[in-house]
């Protein structure tokens, strides 16, 4: 009863707040489940009792069976769960954790679109990872922090939570918490001093509420590095035509090529269609990295920071070399195989956005990749006909969610403002 009162209170109190409504709904469904379980258990006891004592006429017996059946169907519980008390308790715990998780995701989403997470409050995560472009940027090279520009293509964030290795050179292979830290603090990305970020968040009432609800206490930089990854776990592909076995005839032909003649599956393997390993496919350099001083400065600073020697004279992206620093240079120009999912939303392609369309990408591989002394041995001319190339593209396109899953995040209208702490002298910081 107490719970029901709480839900009603919530509904009245937070009439306008959508997330609060969701919260109330979840709690309501929890109560419904609880009632159903209770009712059913009592019914079972009565039902078995009646059966043994044969006090009940057959009509009542049958109708009670129907009620029981309806209860089962409605709740979607298995009978085992209904009969064990501990199981229902466990479910309640899971529900509770779900609420915390939902709050964490809600928090992460708000942070993702908040420009105040960058040093000069001018760019948010969502500026380079735009929902309308599959959480990438529509340009070949990412914009980067104001005052300079980035030298690589912004990768999609869809399914990023399923990866085990991040960034085109694969320099982070721990977890998304670390990736978020890097994105926030690097001077060419968001240039944020996280100590300042933390104090900014403490000055926004929405964050005070969201952090508390997510079980993170007061706003903190570690909380941010938990919440944003939590939001990223939501950005997952929906079932595509390939998953649903709904490939067109052309796509089916493409699939055959993909796993056969074209040899794509040598690297694009696994559920995300990537082996997550570095390969040199000879992708041509995007010359604007070197011709635009705003990009070149970032490139130089990055290589300087990564300990690459002769960084002033570099005329190519070193790729995984910044990580492995092989003396013979055999790791130069290697980039982590990207996932092939959601490709229809994420053009242009490659680590430097050098190809505008999938046709260009397929034609590039058909020619045997680019020229490079360290070219991966798997890369060789494929001899695909025009028709075959088209088929391959059709298959690649079938690996994207049929409906743009990022759509619901487009035009996120969030209000961001700082509030003044009144009577500041009397408050604790």
Partner 1 sequence: MNRLKHEYVRLFIILVFILNQNISASQFPPLTPLGKVPEPPDNKTTAEKIALGKLLFFDGRLGGDGSTSCASCHVPEMGWDWPGKLSLGYPGTIHWRNAQTIINAAYYDKLFWAGASKSLEEQAKSAAKGAVAGNGEDDLMEARLALIPEYRQQFKTVFGDEWPKINNAWNAIAAFERTLVQTDTPLDRFLNGDNGALTIEQIAGKKLFEGKAGCIQCHNGALASDQAYYNIGVPPSREWQTNPLAQITMRYELYAKGMDEQQYRHTKADPGAYFRTKHPSMKGKFRTPSLRYTLYTAPYMHNGELANLTEVIDFYDAGGFTSEGRTTAYPATKSKLIKPLGLNNNEKKQLLAFLQAFSGKKITIERPSLPAYKPLFSKNELKDVKK
For the bound state, the minimum distance from the C-beta of residue 83 to partner 1, rounded and expressed in Å, comes to: 50
Asked if 98 touches partner 1 (CB under 8 A), the answer is no
CA distance 298 to 290: 10
Asked if 291 touches partner 1 (CB under 8 A), the answer is yes
Span of 128-136, 161-169, 293-301, 395-403 interacting with partner 1 by CB under 8 A: 293-301
CA distance 197 to 94: 32
Rounded to the nearest 10 degrees, the angle between the axes of helix 386-397 and helix 358-366 is 130
Measured from the CB atom, the residue of 288 and 400 that comes closer to partner 1 is: 288
Q: Secondary structure of the chain: what % helix, strand, coil (to 5)?
A: 50, 5, 45
Measured from the CB atom, the residue of 69 and 305 that comes closer to partner 1 is: 305
Span of 67-75, 118-126, 222-230, 263-271 interacting with partner 1 by CB under 8 A: 118-126
Measured from the CB atom, the residue of 100 and 301 that comes closer to partner 1 is: 301
Measured from the CB atom, the residue of 310 and 411 that comes closer to partner 1 is: 310
Taking CB under 8 A as the criterion, the residue among 3, 98, 120, 243 binding partner 1 is 120
Measured from the CB atom, the residue of 75 and 220 that comes closer to partner 1 is: 220
Closest CA to 353 of 268, 287, 419, 426: 287
Using DSSP, state whether 113 is helix, strand or coil.
coil
Total residues interacting with partner 1, rule: CB under 8 A: 53
Torsion 240-242-247-253 (CA) sign:
positive
Q: How many residues appear in the chain?
A: 429
| Site track for partner 1 across 170-199, x = CB under 8 A | -----------------xx--x-x-xx-xx
Exposure b/e, 128-142, CB count within 10 A at least 16 = b: bbbbebbbbbebbbb
Taking CB under 8 A as the criterion, the residue among 294, 324, 325, 360 binding partner 1 is 294
> What is the enclosing helix (H) or strand (E) of 278?
strand 278-279
For the bound state, the minimum distance from the C-beta of residue 97 to partner 1, rounded and expressed in Å, comes to: 29
Enumerate residues 386-425 that contact partner 1 by CB under 8 A: 418-421, 424-425
CA distance 208 to 425: 19
Enumerate residues 296-335 that contact partner 1 by CB under 8 A: 296-298, 300-302, 304-305, 312, 315-316, 333
Looking at residue 380, the DSSP 8-state letter turns out to be -
Report how far apart, in Å, the C-alpha atoms of 57 and of each of 43, 54, 61, 66 are.
16, 8, 6, 15
Question: What is the binding site for partner 1 (CB under 8 A)?
Answer: 116, 118-122, 145-148, 187-188, 191, 193, 195-196, 198-200, 202-203, 282, 285, 287, 290-294, 296-298, 300-302, 304-305, 312, 315-316, 333, 370-373, 418-421, 424-425, 428-429
């Amino acid at each position: 009863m107490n719970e029901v009162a709480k839900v009603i209170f919530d509904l009245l109190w937070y009439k306008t707040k959508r997330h609060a409504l969701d919260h109330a709904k979840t709690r309501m469904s929890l109560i419904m489940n609880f009632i159903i379980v209770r009712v059913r258990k009592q019914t079972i006891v009565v039902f078995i009792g009646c059966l043994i004592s044969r006090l009940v006429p057959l009509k009542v017996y049958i109708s009670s069976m129907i009620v029981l059946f309806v209860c089962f169907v409605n709740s979607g519980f298995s009978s085992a769960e209904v009969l064990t008390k501990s199981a229902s308790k466990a479910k309640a715990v899971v529900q509770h954790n779900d609420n915390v998780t939902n709050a964490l995701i809600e928090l992460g989403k708000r942070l993702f679109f908040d420009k105040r997470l960058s040093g000069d409050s001018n760019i948010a995560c969502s500026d380079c990872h735009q929902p309308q472009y599959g959480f990438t940027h529509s340009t070949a090279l990412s914009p980067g922090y104001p005052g300079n520009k980035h030298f690589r293509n912004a990768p999609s964030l869809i399914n990023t939570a399923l990866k085990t290795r991040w960034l085109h050179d694969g320099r982070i292979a721990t977890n998304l918490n670390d990736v978020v830290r890097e994105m926030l603090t690097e001077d060419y990305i968001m240039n944020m001093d996280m100590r300042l970020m933390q104090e900014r968040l403490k000055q926004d009432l929405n964050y005070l509420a969201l952090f508390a609800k997510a079980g993170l206490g007061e706003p903190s930089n570690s909380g941010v590095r938990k919440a944003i990854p939590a939001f990223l776990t939501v950005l997952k592909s929906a079932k595509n035509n390939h998953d649903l076995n709904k490939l067109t005839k052309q796509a089916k032909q493409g699939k055959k090529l993909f796993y056969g003649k074209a040899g794509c599956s040598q690297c694009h393997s696994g559920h995300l269609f990537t082996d997550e390993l570095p390969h040199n496919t000879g992708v041509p350099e995007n010359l604007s990295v070197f011709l635009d001083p705003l990009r070149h400065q970032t490139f130089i600073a990055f290589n300087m920071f990564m300990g690459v020697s002769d960084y002033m004279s570099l005329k190519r992206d070193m790729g995984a070399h910044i990580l492995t620093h092989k003396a013979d240079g055999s790791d130069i120009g290697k980039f982590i195989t990207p996932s092939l999912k959601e490709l229809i939303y994420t053009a242009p392609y490659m680590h430097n956005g050098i190809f505008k369309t999938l046709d260009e990408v397929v034609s590039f591989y058909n020619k045997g990749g680019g020229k490079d002394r360290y070219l991966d041995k798997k890369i060789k001319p494929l001899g695909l006909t025009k028709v075959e190339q088209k088929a391959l593209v059709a298959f690649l396109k079938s690996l994207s969610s049929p409906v743009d899953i990022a759509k619901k995040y487009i035009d996120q209208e969030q209000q961001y403002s700082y509030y003044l702490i009144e009577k500041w002298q009397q408050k604790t910081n």
